[in-house]
Structure 1
Amino acid sequence: MAAVWQQVLAVDARYNAYRTSNFPQFRTQYIRRRSQLLRENAKGGFDPLLRRQYLKLRSQLLAQRYGPLSEQSSFRAYSNSIRSSRTTLDRMEDFDDDLRAQGARGHRRSVSRGSYQLQAQMNRATYEDKSPGSVVPTSVAEASRAMAGDTTLSENYAFAGMCHIFDQHVDKEVPKVQFANDDKNRLACCSLDGTVSIFQLVPTPPAVLRVLRGHSRGVTDFAWSISNDVIVTTSLDATMRIWATEDGKCIREIPDPDCSEVLCCTFQPMNNNLTVVGNSRQNVHVMNISTGKKVKGGSSKLTGHVLSLSFDSPGRILWAGDDRGSIFSFIFDMATGKLTKAKRLVVSEGSSITSISARSWISREARDPSLLVNACVNKLLLYRVVDNEGTLQLKRTFEIQQNSSPVHSIFCPLMSFRQGACVVTGSEDMCVYFFDVERATKAIVNKLQGHSAAVLDVSFNCDESLLASSDARGMVIIWRREQK
Structure 2
Amino acid sequence: MAAVWQQVLAVDARYAAYRTPRWPQFRTQYVRRRSQLLREQAQAGALEGATRRWYLRLRARLLAQRYGALSEQSSCRAHSSSALRASRTTLDRMEDFEEEARGHRRSLSRGSHSGAPRGGPDERAPGVVPTPLAQASRAMAGDTSLGENYAFAGVFHVFDQHGDHAVPKVQFAHDDRHLLACCSLDGTISVCRLAPGPPSVLRVLRGHGGGVADFAWSLSNDVLVSASLDGTLRLWAPLDGRCIRRVPDPDGAALLCCAFQPLNNNLTVVGSARHMVRVVNISTGKAARGGTGRLPGRVLALCFDAAGRVLWAGDDRGSVSSFLCDPGTGRLTKASRVVVAAGGSVTSLSARAWASREAPDPSLLVNACPDRLLLFRVVEEAGSGAPGLRLRRSFPTRHRQQPLRSCFCPLMSFRQGACVVTGSEDACVHFFDVGRAARAALNSLPGHGAAVLAVAFNCDESLLASSDAAGTVIVWRRQHA
Taking structure 1 as the reference length, the TM-score comes to: 0.78
Name the structure 2 match of 1:218.
211
Aligned in 2, Cα 1:223/1:143: closer, same or farther, shift over 3 Å? same
Counterpart secondary structure, 2:219: coil
Letter in 1 for 2:93: D
How far off is 1:258 after superposition?
1.8
Alignment partners' CA distance in 2, 1:136 and 1:476: 36
How far off is 1:136 after superposition?
6.3
Q: Contact (CA 8 Å) 1:356, 1:373: kept in 2 or not?
A: yes
Alignment partners' CA distance in 1, 2:61 and 2:149: 22
Letter in 1 for 2:256: L
Aligned in 2, Cα 1:361/1:384: closer, same or farther, shift over 3 Å? closer
Q: Contact (CA 8 Å) 1:243, 1:251: kept in 2 or not?
A: yes
Alignment partners' CA distance in 2, 1:471 and 1:380: 18
How far off is 1:96 after superposition?
2.6
Which of 144, 151, 158 pairs up with 2:144? Answer: 151
Q: Contact (CA 8 Å) 1:423, 1:437: kept in 2 or not?
A: yes
Aligned in 2, Cα 1:304/1:9: closer, same or farther, shift over 3 Å? closer
Alignment partners' CA distance in 1, 2:251 and 2:388: 29
Name the structure 2 match of 1:468.
465
Q: Contact (CA 8 Å) 2:90, 2:133: kept in 1 or not?
A: no
Name the structure 1 match of 2:73.
none
Name the structure 2 match of 1:481.
478
Alignment partners' CA distance in 2, 1:100 and 1:140: 11
Q: Contact (CA 8 Å) 1:311, 1:319: kept in 2 or not?
A: yes
Q: Contact (CA 8 Å) 1:415, 1:464: kept in 2 or not?
A: no
Counterpart secondary structure, 1:142: helix
Which of 417, 420, 423 pairs up with 1:423? Answer: 420
Name the structure 1 match of 2:441.
444
Name the structure 1 match of 2:135.
142
Alignment partners' CA distance in 1, 2:133 and 2:31: 27
Which of 341, 352, 357 pairs up with 1:348? Answer: 341
Name the structure 2 match of 1:401.
398
Counterpart secondary structure, 1:386: strand
Letter in 2 for 1:482: Q
Name the structure 2 match of 1:97.
93
**Is the aligned partner of 1:384 residue 2:377?**
yes
Following superposition of structure 1 onto structure 2, how do residues 157-196 of structure 1 map, counting pairs within 5 Å?
A: 157-196=150-189
User: How many residues matched?
Assistant: 419
Counterpart secondary structure, 2:347: strand
Aligned in 2, Cα 1:289/1:483: closer, same or farther, shift over 3 Å? same
Q: Contact (CA 8 Å) 1:270, 1:314: kept in 2 or not?
A: yes
Q: Contact (CA 8 Å) 1:193, 1:217: kept in 2 or not?
A: yes
Q: Contact (CA 8 Å) 2:354, 2:360: kept in 1 or not?
A: no
Alignment partners' CA distance in 2, 1:407 and 1:302: 20
Which of 302, 315, 318 pairs up with 2:311? Answer: 318
Q: Contact (CA 8 Å) 1:298, 1:338: kept in 2 or not?
A: yes
**Is the aligned partner of 1:47 residue 2:66?**
yes
**Is the aligned partner of 1:301 residue 2:294?**
yes
Where structure 1 has 5 or more consecutive residues not aligned to the other structure, the ranges are 50-90, 102-117
Using the aligned pairs only, state the percent identity: 57
**Cα deviation code 1:158-211 (max 9, x no counterpart):** 123211100011210100000000110011000000000011000232100111
Alignment partners' CA distance in 2, 1:229 and 1:417: 28
Counterpart secondary structure, 1:348: coil
Counterpart secondary structure, 1:228: coil
Name the structure 1 match of 2:244.
251
Q: Contact (CA 8 Å) 1:381, 1:397: kept in 2 or not?
A: yes
Alignment partners' CA distance in 2, 1:350 and 1:428: 19
Q: Contact (CA 8 Å) 2:358, 2:417: kept in 1 or not?
A: no
Name the structure 2 match of 1:261.
254
How far off is 1:362 after superposition?
7.5
Name the structure 1 match of 2:194.
201
Aligned in 2, Cα 1:121/1:297: closer, same or farther, shift over 3 Å? farther
Of residues 457-466 and 150-159 in structure 1, the stretch that sits farther from structure 2 once superposed is: 150-159
**Is the aligned partner of 1:26 residue 2:45?**
yes
Counterpart secondary structure, 1:144: helix
How far off is 1:438 after superposition?
1.2
Alignment partners' CA distance in 2, 1:473 and 1:254: 29
Alignment partners' CA distance in 2, 1:125 and 1:365: 12
**Cα deviation code 1:382-405 (max 9, x no counterpart):** 111012522001111111100111
Which of 425, 429, 437 pairs up with 1:432? Answer: 429
Counterpart secondary structure, 2:414: coil
Alignment partners' CA distance in 1, 2:276 and 2:183: 22
Please tell me the root mean square deviation across aligned C-alpha atoms, in Å: 3.6
Letter in 2 for 1:314: A
**Is the aligned partner of 1:413 residue 2:406?**
no
Q: Contact (CA 8 Å) 2:29, 2:460: kept in 1 or not?
A: no
How far off is 1:93 after superposition?
8.2
Alignment partners' CA distance in 1, 2:127 and 2:61: 30
Letter in 1 for 2:228: S
Alignment partners' CA distance in 1, 2:48 and 2:448: 50
Alignment partners' CA distance in 1, 2:446 and 2:189: 25
Letter in 2 for 1:465: S
Aligned in 2, Cα 1:28/1:234: closer, same or farther, shift over 3 Å? farther
How far off is 1:147 after superposition?
1.0
Q: Contact (CA 8 Å) 1:318, 1:332: kept in 2 or not?
A: yes
Aligned in 2, Cα 1:166/1:44: closer, same or farther, shift over 3 Å? same
Alignment partners' CA distance in 1, 2:460 and 2:274: 38
Of residues 429-438 and 153-162 in structure 1, the stretch that sits farther from structure 2 once superposed is: 153-162
Alignment partners' CA distance in 1, 2:260 and 2:225: 8
How far off is 1:144 after superposition?
1.8
Letter in 2 for 1:293: K
Alignment partners' CA distance in 1, 2:88 and 2:238: 36
Letter in 1 for 2:411: L
Letter in 2 for 1:249: R
Following superposition of structure 1 onto structure 2, how do residues 362-381 of structure 1 map, counting pairs within 5 Å?
A: 363-381=356-374
Letter in 2 for 1:460: F
How far off is 1:430 after superposition?
0.3
Aligned in 2, Cα 1:213/1:37: closer, same or farther, shift over 3 Å? farther
Alignment partners' CA distance in 1, 2:275 and 2:96: 52
Name the structure 1 match of 2:282.
289
Where structure 2 has 5 or more consecutive residues not aligned to the other structure, the ranges are 1-18, 21-25, 69-86, 110-123
Of residues 126-135 and 138-147 in structure 1, the stretch that sits farther from structure 2 once superposed is: 126-135
Which of 280, 301, 306 pairs up with 2:273? Answer: 280
Alignment partners' CA distance in 1, 2:419 and 2:368: 19
Letter in 2 for 1:316: R
Alignment partners' CA distance in 2, 1:312 and 1:260: 26
Alignment partners' CA distance in 2, 1:331 and 1:186: 32
